[in-house]
């Protein structure tokens, strides 16, 4: 047991206790961590072979103490202490909501969310999983949507190497006995994502199931949630997604989804981000336990409307995927994917990537990871860099204007310092811009596909017509304040 | 006065009468045309210089007689007769609604509506107007949206050569005295369109006005409508559009629009097609005097919904224009314009073209005509030919399918004989088709932009997966029944 851990890393208390009976059910273990007069109570979990663990993510530099609490004497009243040190470079802590519509790390560093989806990359065996990690190393993504449970669906016929549960003698699952090996593997992958600077958007339930995990019953669902949170919440890069396509899970009611949110909310000492992903209709993101909107939708022009409706960050995790499969949600072009990223961005939201190119061995990035084959990631990297340099705390769309209250869906800004106009399918040869009268701006013409930034001569203020624009679709203009 | 006229051409009765006072107001003249025991009463009009005319479009081959009716003795009780002969080649009569959602000519010939817009091409003087006609000769359009009144708007600063009214001594308009020279010019242009096989979709009112024609008062509005119908209804290629962007005309109420429809409906002996074009919200196309929907909207996927809502043909006259001006409605790419044509087509509607490329002398096709500069017309011609050959009576979208009632917006058919699948922004590398089990089809892959039709080997029936599709956006597949 190390006596020192850096801020937002994991301090783990490991204890030996009983292994007879069913320790998952019979034994409760927790620890009270304290810093000066502040206390944080953290649930522990059984990790098999008589080993119990309590994991803690300290958020404050200094001396921490702890004392364990258990219904089993061997695990009760154990005390200790450790030093929480300054975080190392690249460790900014967990991501939280910032300025209503945006995100930031706990240390205040900005977080421009650029997600991708590999639903069950962590169920593919080491070879492919390591290839996925290698791909991610140079990919532009800082969030990964991934399922805890395996997936049964088209292109997803293979059996996973490990399961979350032990089987009973009759071969059926014992939903009261977890398989620690499975969970340790999951944690290893979550930790590897963290080390790559990637948030793990963990999908707790999903409908694509042939094993029975989509329909375990309410008691087992809650039991599972508490175990998952106890094991994983100390990973600073965890986000909780109650479901992928919650509305396709016929075994669950809206009351179930509400309860899942509350179970996670009450169990998680760190209040990681929480959301839920839809197929057809949105869950009511106004509910207080929802921290941000996780959206499946194809109309990226509506992002600004959803912002206003729910007053929370909009993450369009699924707006169709770049690919060429025979299903409409998985065959948009790279050009269209890039377009949607830009549309969502000027709407003041965050768009997610996915890729579904037909593959001879059914290794589609969207489900299994592997390699990226598409042309959008490079352009997404270009956009991410542009935003991080010019609008690190996010973009906000401009308010409606004029006597009809026209909503301009082509422009956003970061305060007065930066304006971004994205013309999408429009191809103006000239365009009338509106900037603050009392500031001066340098303009650039941006080609999001060609990844070029071409300066426009002069400085600009107020309302003006800019001629000699490219007259081609999918271009943008940025205005950066110079004084 | 000719004693013979072909079916659906114009038989004109010309009479001399008084020119003192205000003949437009003081004199009523009409004629009762009869064929056997059938009578058609047709309003005449004053054409200046003591000349009165009654124009009639006979719809039946054979001997017709007429007798004039007037409150002026010199114009009353004049009789005559003429022979209506078989129409010449290319004369199919006026276009009417056919099969609820489609159009056909009076002789039963199909009419695939492919419109364009040159709002005030007829107000530009002979040189440019003749250039427009020359362009139309080889363009793919068979309908022209055009205004009776001139237009005041961006790119439309020039004064028209003629006005519909005489001026009073004080320079203001005399809304009770028409300028026959203006109307004869208009009729000449409508007749020239007819001779090119182009329907003249005459816009009776519009909001873009600096002369006062948008706000003449209810009595003058009605007086104008009756005069316009009396002069123009005998042109078989006339369609009546109550307005361009009716909802931007603040001087008129919904009751005015309803009345305009009724005035035109009661005055027009031939019941030419009637509609009204919106800016923001639709007029209620359910009203019984609306024959078809004239739509301004950018979401071509909604065409099938509007069909169901109003059960009338959908003509999307404005879905943004190919061009590069600084306004969002006039700067989509040719690719996007072609895409929208195909989307609207598989939705079971008819899409209209327009073009707004910046021009050193402000000659933009959308308003003034002239030459076409874009790349869409050639592709629109390709689509028109494809439809005329394979689905001359129009396409109907397929009904929703499956347990969720999914609406497939990518497919349409003409009975069982022809199916068209358009993938739009999707780029499937393979696709699952559903065709009737008991028929056999030949398939072709269509590139609407490249204008190629590539046969697929074999014949197909029922449900099947087709591999080796192009994996590029904006492609289509057609299935033609072979047995």
Q: How is B12-49 classified by DSSP, letter by letter?
A: EEEEE---SS-HHHH--EEEEEEETTEEEEEEEEE-ST
Residues of A in contact with B301 (CB under 8 A): none
Contact A63, A245 (CB under 8 A): no
CB atoms closer than 10 angstroms to residue A321:
25
Selecting from B331, B427, B432 the residue whose C-beta is nearest the C-beta of A324 gives B427
Q: Residue A460 pairs with which residues in a beta bridge? A: A441
Residues in A whose CB is inside 8 Å of some CB of B read: 280, 323-326, 328, 331-333, 335-336, 357-358, 404, 410, 423, 425-432, 465, 469, 471-473
Cβ contact, residue pair A358, B473, below 8 Å: no
Q: Which two tokens stand for residue B303?
A: 């065409």
**pLDDT band for position B383 (50/70/90)?**
very high
Say yes or no: domain A96-390 is CATH 3.20.20.80: yes
Q: Please report, for residues B226, B379, B381, the alpha-carbon distance to residue B455 in angstroms, rounded to integers and kept in the order given.
A: 54, 19, 20
Instruction: Give backbone dihedrals phi and psi of A257, rounded to 5 degrees, phi first.
Output: -65, -40
Residues of A in contact with B357 (CB under 8 A): 429
Cβ contact, residue pair B332, A358, below 8 Å: no
Q: Residues in chain B, how many?
A: 483
- The whole-number average pLDDT for the span B6-21 is 97
Q: Which two tokens stand for residue B134?
A: 């020359």
CATH assignment, A416-481: 2.60.40.3950
Instruction: Give backbone dihedrals phi and psi of A21, rounded to 5 degrees, phi first.
Output: 65, -145
Q: What is the DSSP letter of A468?
A: -
- The whole-number average pLDDT for the span B329-354 is 98
Q: Which two tokens stand for residue A185?
A: 């593997």
- Residues whose CB falls within 8 Å of the CB of residue B475, separated by 6 or more in sequence, listed in order: B422, B423, B427, B445, B446, B447, B448, B469
Distance separating the N- and C-terminal Cα atoms of chain B: 54
Distance CA B445, CA B443 (A): 7
Selecting from B326, B357, B426 the residue whose C-beta is nearest the C-beta of A331 gives B426
Residue that the structure tokens 């042309």 belong to: A375
3-state secondary structure of B348: coil
CATH architecture classification, B95-390 = Alpha-Beta Barrel (3.20)
Contact B161, B180 (CB under 8 A): no
Q: Please report, for residues A180, A352, B114, B120, B351, the alpha-carbon distance to residue B136 in angstroms, rounded to integers and kept in the order given.
A: 75, 46, 12, 15, 17
> pLDDT tens digits for B145-156?
999 999 999 999
Which run of H or of E encompasses B336?
helix B334-346
**pLDDT band for position B2 (50/70/90)?**
low
Predicted pLDDT at A2? 58
Rounded to whole angstroms, the maximal C-alpha distance in chain A is: 79
Residues of A in contact with B426 (CB under 8 A): 328, 331-332
* A interface test, pick of B324, B325, B409, B449 with most A CB neighbours within 10 Å: B324
Predicted pLDDT at A151? 98
Q: What is the fold of A4-85?
A: Immunoglobulin-like (2.60.40)
> pLDDT tens digits for B236-269?
999 999 999 999 999 999 999 999 999 999 999 9
- The whole-number average pLDDT for the span B378-386 is 98
Contact B430, B449 (CB under 8 A): no
Q: Which two tokens stand for residue B38?
A: 């059938």
pLDDT above 80: residue B290: yes
Contact B433, B440 (CB under 8 A): no
Cβ contact, residue pair A404, B280, below 8 Å: yes
Distance CA B344, CA B112 (A): 13
> pLDDT tens digits for A23-53?
999 999 999 999 999 999 999 999 999 999 9
ipTM: 0.86
3-state secondary structure of A476: strand
Q: How is A67-98 classified by DSSP, letter by letter?
A: EEEESSGGGSS-EEEEEEEPPPTT----EEEE
Contact A330, A356 (CB under 8 A): yes
Domain ranges of chain B: 4-85, 95-390, 416-481
Predicted pLDDT at A264? 97
Residue that the structure tokens 């199916």 belong to: B419
Predicted pLDDT at B483? 73
Q: Which residues of B300-319 are buried (b: 16+ CB within 10 A; e: fewer)?
A: bebbbebbeebebbbbbbbb
- Residues whose CB falls within 8 Å of the CB of residue A101, separated by 6 or more in sequence, listed in order: A307, A311, A312, A313, A314, A348, A349, A394, A396
Characterize the bridge pairing of strands A4-6 and A79-85: parallel
Residues of chain A with pLDDT under 70: 1-2
Residues of A in contact with B473 (CB under 8 A): 332-333, 335-336
Residue that the structure tokens 């996670």 belong to: A264
Q: Work out the minimum CA distance from B422 to partner chain A, whole angstroms.
A: 12
Predicted pLDDT at A124? 98
> pLDDT tens digits for A289-327?
999 999 999 999 999 999 999 999 999 999 999 999 999
Contact A246, A276 (CB under 8 A): yes
Cβ contact, residue pair B427, A333, below 8 Å: yes
3-state secondary structure of A64: strand
Rounded to whole angstroms, the maximal C-alpha distance in chain B is: 79
The answer to whether domain A4-85 and domain A416-481 are alike in fold is yes
Q: Work out the minimum CA distance from B119 to partner chain A, whole angstroms.
A: 21
Predicted pLDDT at A265? 96
Four-residue CA torsion sign, B248, B251, B255, B257:
negative
Distance of CA A219 to the CA centre of its chain: 27
Q: How many contacts does A have with B, using Cβ atoms within 8 A?
A: 76
Predicted pLDDT at B219? 98
């Amino acid at each position: 047991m190390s006596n020192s851990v850096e801020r937002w890393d994991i301090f783990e208390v490991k204890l030996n206790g009983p292994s007879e009976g069913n320790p998952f059910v019979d034994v409760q273990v927790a620890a009270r961590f304290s810093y000066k007069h502040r206390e944080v109570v953290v649930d522990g979990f059984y990790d098999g072979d008589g080993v119990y663990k309590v994991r803690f993510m300290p958020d404050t530099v200094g001396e921490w103490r702890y004392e364990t609490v258990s219904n089993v004497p061997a695990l009760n009243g154990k005390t200790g202490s450790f030093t929480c040190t300054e975080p190392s470079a690249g460790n900014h802590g967990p991501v939280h909501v910032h300025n209503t519509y945006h995100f930031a790390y706990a240390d205040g560093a900005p977080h421009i969310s650029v997600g991708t989806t590999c639903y069950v990359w962590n169920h593919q065996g080491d070879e492919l999983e390591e290839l996925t990690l290698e791909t991610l190393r140079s990919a532009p993504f800082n969030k990964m949507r991934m399922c805890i449970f395996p997936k049964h669906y088209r292109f997803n016929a293979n059996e996973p190497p490990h399961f979350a549960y032990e089987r009973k003698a009759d071969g059926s699952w014992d939903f009261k006995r977890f398989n620690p090996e499975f969970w340790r593997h999951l944690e290893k992958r979550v930790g590897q994502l963290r080390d790559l600077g990637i948030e793990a958007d963990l999908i707790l339930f999903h409908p694509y199931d042939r094993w029975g995990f989509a329909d375990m019953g309410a008691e087992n669902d809650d039991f599972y949630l508490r175990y998952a949170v106890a094991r994983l919440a100390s990973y600073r890069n965890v986000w909780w997604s109650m479901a992928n396509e919650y509305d396709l899970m016929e075994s669950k009611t809206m009351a179930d989804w509400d309860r899942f949110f509350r179970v996670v909310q009450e169990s998680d000492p760190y209040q990681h981000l929480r959301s839920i992903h839809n197929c057809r209709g949105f869950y009511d993101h106004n509910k207080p336990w929802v921290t941000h909107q996780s959206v499946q939708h194809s109309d990226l022009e509506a992002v600004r409307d959803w912002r206003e409706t729910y007053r929370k960050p909009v993450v369009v995790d699924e707006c169709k995927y770049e690919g060429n499969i025979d299903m409409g949600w998985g065959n948009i072009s790279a050009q269209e994917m890039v377009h949607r990223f830009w549309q969502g961005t000027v709407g003041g939201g965050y768009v997610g990537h996915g890729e579904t190119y037909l593959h001879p061995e059914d290794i589609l990035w969207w489900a299994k990871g592997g390699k990226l084959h598409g042309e959008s990631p490079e352009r997404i990297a270009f956009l991410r860099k542009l935003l991080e340099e010019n609008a690190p705390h996010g973009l906000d769309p401009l308010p409606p204007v004029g006597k009809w209250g026209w909503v301009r869906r082509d422009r956003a800004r970061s305060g007065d310092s930066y304006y971004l106009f994205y013309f999408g399918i429009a191809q103006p040869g000239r365009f009338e811009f509106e900037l603050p009268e009392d500031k001066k701006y340098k303009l650039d013409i941006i080609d999001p596909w060609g990844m070029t930034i071409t300066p426009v001569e002069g400085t600009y203020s107020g309302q003006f017509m800019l001629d000699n624009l490219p007259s081609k679709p999918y271009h943008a203009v940025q205005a950066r304040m110079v004084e």
